[in-house]
Amino acid sequence: MKVCRTAEELAALDSLHGDRPLVFVPTMGALHEGHLSLVRLGCQWGPVVVSIFVNPTQFGEGEDFDAYPRDLSADLALLESLAVAAVFTPDVSEVYGGANEVTIQPGHRGLGLCGHNRPGHFAGVLTVVAKLFGMVRPDVAIFGRKDAQQCLVIAQMVADLKMPVTLVDGPTIREEDGLALSSRNRYLDAGARARALCLYRALNAGRDLLAAGERGTEAIVEVMLGELAAADLVEYAEVRQVPGLDLADEVRGRTLLAVAAQVGPARLIDNLVLNVSDHEVAEGVLLDEPGSIASRFRRP
Ligand code: AMP
């Protein structure tokens, strides 16, 4: 496993993937099973490059950029065990060393949900993802469904700017009791950890009500808010259409149930992607199935 600190060192690995797609999994480190599941998904298609970079521009003022957990040696040990081809751990100056006059702003998908409460967050995410795509030059990039709005905002950037990369969303990995894995779960003490489960409970309550036949957005939001009463501060509980993230009074088709709340010192988010028809509620995916990636990238 190569550990590269500069884009130049990474470029020297160009011969690494031969006729297979180069797969990229961007992360901010403090790796857990959620990140590793994305790496495993990617390994089936080709050599995987994982980036570990805590991106300053996606944190707002007063957010946890300084406190964000960093443990490079533990991360490298985990990635070594998965036969990752290369890890890219650039300094801030490697990524932001230039003039940085150009940034990428999200379209309307970035306005609500986390975009509403974290102004500038998705511009920071898109700008760093575009920079990382430019440095890693992947054929395939994998993102977690856990950050659903992020996936959809990035998908719009890739489509609108004609970026030559195929996006894949990996399923949300959870603890046994349902809590979505997150690097920020490290902030939770035992009491907060127990209360943090209210996010998953809220989503399940919303899904159960849909399964019972309710299709009114207001009723679904209300039942989710009821469960979120255990949080210290509720940021949002929303029902949005996928992929556009538009609001609708009636729930139908591909749908995102999304919640965000402060529990103890941690700001936590979670979601469920559902396919809602007249008589059925089934689990859904965010991004369209990419088809057979392996055969698409096999060159003659
Ligand atoms: P982060 O390090 O938090 O920026 O996350 C890096 C990638 O891992 C993003 O694409 C996240 O959506 C994804 N991710 C984070 N938590 C999970 C999880 N519990 N299950 C699946 N993917 C996740």
pLDDT, residue 12, reads 82
What band does 297 get if pLDDT is binned at 50, 70 and 90?
low
Q: Indicate whether residue 240 lines ligand 1 (CB < 6 A).
A: no
Residue percentage of the chain with pLDDT more than 90: 89
pLDDT, residue 18, reads 75
Of 296, 6, 40, the residue nearest 132 (C-alpha): 6
Q: Residue range 195-208: average pLDDT?
A: 98
Closest ligand 1 atom, residue 30 Cα: 2
Structure tokens at 145: 């469904």
Q: Indicate whether residue 181 lines ligand 1 (CB < 6 A).
A: yes
Q: Known catalytic residue: 116?
A: no
Q: Indicate whether residue 34 lines ligand 1 (CB < 6 A).
A: yes
Strand order in the sheet with 266-276: 233-241, 253-263, 266-276, 281-283
Cα 147 to middle of ligand 1, angstroms:
7
How far is 258 from 263, CA to CA, in rounded Å?
Answer: 16
Q: Is the pLDDT of residue 295 over 80?
A: no
Cα 145 to middle of ligand 1, angstroms:
8
Among the ranges given (11-20, 129-138, 210-219), the one the predictor scored with the smallest mean pLDDT: 11-20
User: Residue 14: CA atoms inside 13 Å, Cβ hemisphere, count?
Assistant: 6
Q: Indicate whether residue 220 lines ligand 1 (CB < 6 A).
A: no
pLDDT, residue 300, reads 44
pLDDT (tens digit per residue) in 33-76: 999 999 999 999 999 999 999 999 999 998 989 999 999 999 99
Q: Is the pLDDT of residue 107 over 60?
A: yes
Cα 292 to middle of ligand 1, angstroms:
23
